[in-house]
A = this chain, B = another copy of it.
């Protein structure tokens, strides 16, 4: 039991302090502010802060002052900077805002949880990951509607404090998202497969196409355009995201290579692509069934009751979402 655990959980309308005002953090600041919630942000770039301020939002380039304000307000602090920067920020959070509940919007959860434990050990933390984004970045790309009907994963471990979990999940709901409860490890394996792997297959596909000829790029239509879209994301952002989830990504990348080698063997030996095409079509249909049906709600769980976290995870594994 740490000292922090004894502190009261933030209320459902606690102020929110967003560190990092890029696509995700900036969009979050905007939607919370627009929803009438007290929200303010920090960004190291004066240009970004100036853009946010002139759009009517509270923002500062002064990290310490921002964290002291968060502490005074008992705000929820949201880490929304690239994963490569959090080890620099966490000691400041521990120093200036240790009483705040901390969450994040980073696409990998085990690595962030380990950093928090190591660098801000007294700080209460519940991880988060909104499944939203575009290949654009920066304040100019922010959109208060970015999270509308998106899936927002909230880390749900057996030891997660139920009041803290509710505070973060309510934040996600205020942003317009559905809450998907998961353990950090299960989350990291899932996003390796459906978010990080597609970056690598898109990159390889794009490189092969461009390596063929300009004629090929001239002929490229929908399948190339859509299939390589995420390769257009800023390389530094892609690298930070993918490399932070290296072990899970290695596993799904290896499986992908195995499937493509099997496809090559089938094509070379039998002139057929039956297995890979059928498997892919079945998988895509399963995805469309889940994405198209709209989210079925998690039911019959009171947050904090015995086994609540386990039950939330069990229902989430059936593709259900928490609606509060």
Question: Residues on A close to B: CB < 8 A?
Answer: 131-134, 150-151, 153, 180, 182, 186-187, 189-195, 197-235, 238-239, 242-243, 246, 249-250, 252-257, 259-261, 263-264, 267-268, 271-274, 276-288, 290-291, 295, 316-321
Contact = CB atoms under 8 A, between A and B. Distances in A.
A151 B213 contact: no
B229 A226 contact: yes
Contacts of A213: 186, 189-190, 317
Contacts of A220: 131, 194-195, 287, 290-291
Contacts of A201: 201-202, 204-205, 227, 260
Given A204-B260, A246-B267, A214 B281 contact: no
Nearest to A221: B131
Nearest to A264: B253
A321 B218 contact: yes
Contacts of A229: 222-223, 226-227, 284
B194 A224 contact: yes
A267 B283 contact: no
Number of copies of this protein chain within its complex: 2
A224 B212 contact: no
Nearest to A178: B218
Contacts of A242: 273, 277
Nearest to A206: B283
Contacts of A223: 194-195, 198-199, 202, 229-230
Contact of A218 (B134, B231, B232, B290): B290
A205 B198 contact: yes
B254 A264 contact: yes
Contact of A209 (B197, B200, B206, B320): B197
Contacts of A195: 219-221, 223-224
Contacts of A254: 264
Given A131-B220, A194-B220, A246-B267, 10 more contacts: A150-B221, A186-B213, A193-B216, A203-B284, A226-B229, A228-B280, A239-B277, A243-B273, A249-B273, A253-B260
21 contacts: A132-B221, A133-B221, A151-B221, A186-B215, A190-B219, A191-B219, A193-B208, A194-B217, A194-B220, A195-B220, A197-B205, A198-B223, A201-B204, A204-B260, A207-B279, A211-B255, A214-B319, A217-B286, A231-B283, A239-B272, A249-B267
A284 B180 contact: no
A128 to B, nearest CB: 12
Nearest to A202: B227
Contacts of A222: 132-134, 229-230
